[in-house]
Amino acid sequence: MKTKLAMLLSALCCLHAPLIQAGDANVFRDEARVVRVDPILETVNMPVTRRVCERSEVSEQTSAATIGEDIRRRKSQHRRSCRFVEKMHFQERVTGYRVTYRYAGHNAVSRLPYDPGESMPVNVSLIPMN
């Protein structure tokens, strides 16, 4: 049991190792079965600017007089006025994945920047116990 636990801890430590030395026979690559993947979400408050335009009717009255009667004419114009409105918008983003995987009968959890799928490569290091 202690040997398996030591092997698992070694595998976890080596998971973040940048390179495996080619001549080291105690280190090898294997596949671990992915048990669960949970996206890690971050809520971001983002400003969204919209242009809002409104039409308004402006009327002008003109009058003209003829013999014996008063004629009033109404002339209408449409004006468009626009303004910018800023509104805060909450948006959720996936910033990583919490991955639970099983190797050599033990579960382990890592945070990864991608969803690994059904299995994932792991580095395994065998270290003798003292």
Do 128 and 2 contact (CB within 8 A), yes or no? no
Q: 10 Å Cβ neighbour count for 101?
A: 22
* In the chain, where the domains are located: 2-125
103 CB contacts (<8 Å, ≥6 apart)?
A: 8, 11, 30, 32, 33, 122, 124
Per-residue pLDDT of the chain (130 residues; tens, 9 = 90+): 444 444 444 544 444 444 444 456 688 999 999 999 999 999 988 889 999 998 877 666 655 555 555 555 566 677 888 999 999 989 899 999 999 999 999 999 999 999 999 999 999 988 888 7
pLDDT tens figures, 58-83 = 666 655 555 555 555 566 677 888 99
